[in-house]
Amino acid sequence: MVENFAILPCNGLDKCAGVISREIAIKLCENGKNEIICPVYYRVAETKYNKIAGEHALLVIDGCHNRCASKLAAEKKLKISRKITVTEEAKTHHIELKRNLRLLENEHALIESILNGLNNVDNTIVLTLEETNFVFEFVYETYQSGKFLFRIPKNQEVYFNENDCWAWVIGNRARIGVTDFVQQNLSDILYFTPPGIGAEIDQFGEAGEIESSKSVFELISPVSGKVISINETLIQKPELINENPYELGWVAEIELTDSESDKELLIGFDQYFEIMKKKVEELNG
């Protein structure tokens, strides 16, 4: 686990997930090296907590999909190193959270699982965009419907799923994101929730969320593997997905576990282009 975490937990103590978030933060601070950023007190001690966040890797622990901790981090322009959502972790570990605020056996088991996951993350796999050797030069086909212009990459290395997500596969790695259809449909994107660094993602599993004033879109990963990098710029500037969901608005890079099997369930440009056209026509009625 990365030492010297600044931990920003959920402040929703009226829900079980929020109580779990608080308990995880407390346990992480028992070693005396990590520090909690109080989401309530932050607004009256901004200088103090900005200093803590600047000196530590920031771990955000959201209780649920309201993502109050993530939104506070975005508001304060903090750089997030790791992010956990308790309700998603509960789903992953097949644990049903009760409405009772008292932590019982299932809740304590979930807390231990999350702590173990943090302890086992190999932080040497965290890569920045500059450290990767990928060269992404997209070649586009366009489709216009009314005032909307959609761009679709036609490179052979780019694969799609029918959930409007793409993957550029190079060797045992892939960069993933959403297509132009998604950003046009969502309109102005307000928040981006990335997958966690080191997270193991199944093909067609969730790999982050994008939220606009209209709705929340769950990115369904075209590939399976381990998250080795995220586009951290999107946390502060999610609108880059609107500007360009490919070069600027990519979401994450994945170390693939079985790329050949994944490709069998994906589609190429020609097939996705026709699917997207039908979706646009249906929206326009």
Residue 104 CB coordination number (10 Å): 10
Rounded to whole angstroms, how far apart are CA atoms 280 and 285? 9
188: three-class secondary structure by DSSP: coil
Strands 252-256 and 173-178: antiparallel
| C-alpha to C-alpha distances, 223 to 182, 218, 226, 244, 259, nearest whole angstrom | 18, 15, 10, 21, 7
Find how far residue 101's CA is from the centre of its chain: 27
Give percent helix, percent strand, percent coil of the chain, each to the nearest 5.
35, 25, 35
CATH architecture for the domain at 129-283: Beta Barrel (2.40)
Supply φ then ψ for residue 210, to 5 degrees: -125, 130
**pTM listed for this prediction:** 0.61
For residue 1, the model assigns a pLDDT of 41
For residue 127, the model assigns a pLDDT of 36
Q: Which residue stretches of the chain have pLDDT < 70? A: 1-3, 119-135, 285
* Cβ neighbours for 106, distance < 8 A, ≥ 6 positions apart: 95, 96, 97, 98
For residue 216, the model assigns a pLDDT of 92
The full set of domain ranges for the chain reads 5-121, 129-283
| C-alpha to C-alpha distances, 32 to 26, 37, 81, 128, 238, nearest whole angstrom | 10, 14, 20, 29, 34
Q: Quote the DSSP letter at residue 194.
A: P
For residue 2, the model assigns a pLDDT of 43
* Cβ neighbours for 34, distance < 8 A, ≥ 6 positions apart: 3, 4, 5, 6, 7, 28, 56
Query: What tens digit of pLDDT does each residue of 7-16 get?
Result: 999 988 888 9
Nearest one of 150, 218, 207, 149 to 174, comparing CA atoms: 207
CATH architecture for the domain at 5-121: 3-Layer(aba) Sandwich (3.40)
